[in-house]
Amino acid sequence: MPHMPRPGSLAHHLGMEFLEAGDDYLRGRMPVDARTRQPFGQLHGGASCALAETLMSYAANLCLDPVHKMGVGLEINANHVRSVREGWVIGTARPVHLGATTQVWTCEIRDERERMVCTSRMTIAVLVRKQHRID
């Protein structure tokens, strides 16, 4: 059964669901509906970026000790290669680099027929949580 993001979050508002996690990926989906379409009726590129960033950020933090570290977005880019007007889009985030201070992730978003919709790449800054900093 899909896992919903935290109520009140952008991911929750846009109807995203986490579907499955493996050793080297996190998969989720988002509906293409009134919340995620641009005025011309197609999936909004910003909504694709929101799905990609949500999956990559969440996955990055699954790789960290949540008591001492947290990952935050530093940079994201996206190429939108196909329009979608209805249904669901499914994103899969995978790590490219898992370093001590940065992580790099990619996310491919596909339609229900598994056609590429968007490909995105994100750099995550790995920060020490403030309560554990030694100054």
Tell me what pLDDT residue 3 has.
74
Tell me the per-residue pLDDT of 50-106, one tens digit each, with 9 for 90 and over: 999 999 999 999 999 999 999 999 999 999 999 999 999 999 999 999 999 999 999
With cut-offs at 50, 70 and 90, classify the pLDDT of residue 114: very high
Q: Is the pLDDT of residue 131 over 90?
A: no
**Hey, which residues are catalytic here?**
53
> pTM of the prediction?
0.93
Nearest to 107 by CA among 88, 96, 99: 96
- Reported as a single tens digit per residue, the pLDDT across 22-42 is 999 999 999 999 999 999 999
Q: What pLDDT score does 134 carry?
A: 60
**pLDDT at position 108:** 98
Q: What pLDDT is attached to residue 133?
A: 55
Burial of 29 (0-12, 13-18, 19+ CB in 10 A): buried
- CATH classification of 10-132 is 3.10.129.10, yes or no? yes
Query: Is the pLDDT score of 1 beyond 70?
Result: no
Give me the residue spans of the domains in the chain.
10-132
Determine how β-strand 87-98 pairs with β-strand 102-111: antiparallel
In this predicted structure, what is the pLDDT of residue 69? 97
In whole angstroms, give the CA distance from residue 36 to residue 127: 31
